[in-house]
Amino acid sequence: MQNIPIENQRERELVAALELLSPGTSLREGIDYIIQGKTGALIVVGDTPEILSLTEGGFRINSRYTPMRLYELAKMDGAIILSENMKRIVRANVTLRLNPSIDSRETGLRHRAADKFAQQTGHIVLAVSRSRNTLSLYLRNQRYIFRERPILISGANQTMLALTQYIKTMQNAIAILNWVELSGNATLADVITTIQLCERVRRTEYELTRYRIELGTHAQSLQLMPSELMAEIERGLLVIKDYYHESLPDAAQAFEKILRLDANSLASRSTVSTALGYPPDASNPLEVLEPRGYRMLSQIPHIPLSVIENIVQQFKRLEAISAASVAELEAVADVGKARATAIKEALVKMKTAAVQPEIVALSVFE
How far is Cα 317 from Cα 196, in angstroms, rounded to an integer?
23
Mean pLDDT of 269-277: 93
State residue 285's pLDDT score: 65
Q: Is 58 left (phi over 0), alpha (psi -120 to 50) or beta?
A: left
The predicted pLDDT at position 351 comes to: 82
Per the CB < 8 A criterion, the answer to whether 156 and 205 are in contact is no
- Mean pLDDT (the chain, rounded): 88
Which sequence spans correspond to the domains of the chain?
Answer: 14-146, 148-291, 292-354
* DSSP secondary structure letter of residue 224: P
Which pLDDT does position 1 carry in this prediction? 38
pLDDT at 162: 92
In whole angstroms, give the CA distance from residue 102 to residue 248: 34
d(CA 14, CA 214) in angstroms, rounded, equals 12
- CA 354 to CA 149: how far, in whole Å? 47
- C-alpha to C-alpha distance for 294 and 309, rounded to whole angstroms: 8
Each residue of 165-181: pLDDT tens digit? 999 999 999 989 998 99
Please give the class, per CATH, of domain 14-146. alpha beta
CATH number of 148-291: 1.20.1260.110
**Residue 254 predicted with pLDDT over 60:** yes
Mean pLDDT of 107-133: 94
pLDDT value, residue 4: 46
- What pLDDT, in 10s, does the model give residues 274-327? 999 998 876 566 778 999 999 999 989 889 889 999 999 999 999 999 999 999
Q: Which of 120-124, 207-211, 241-245 has the lowest mean pLDDT?
A: 207-211
Give the closest residue to 317 by CA, choosing from 341, 288, 340. 288
pLDDT over 70 at 225, yes or no: no
| Average of per-residue pLDDT across 126-135 | 91
CA quadruple 158, 160, 164, 167: dihedral sign: positive
Q: Does the fold of domain 292-354 match that of domain 148-291?
A: no
- 292-354: which CATH topology? DNA polymerase; domain 1 (1.10.150)
Helix (H) or strand (E) holding 252: helix 251-259
Q: Render pLDDT for 10-26 as a digit per residue (tens, 0 to 9).
A: 778 888 899 999 888 99
Radius of gyration of the chain (CA): 25
Contacts of 117 (CB under 8 A, 6+ apart): 44, 54, 96, 98, 123, 125, 138
- Does the pLDDT at position 363 exceed 60? no
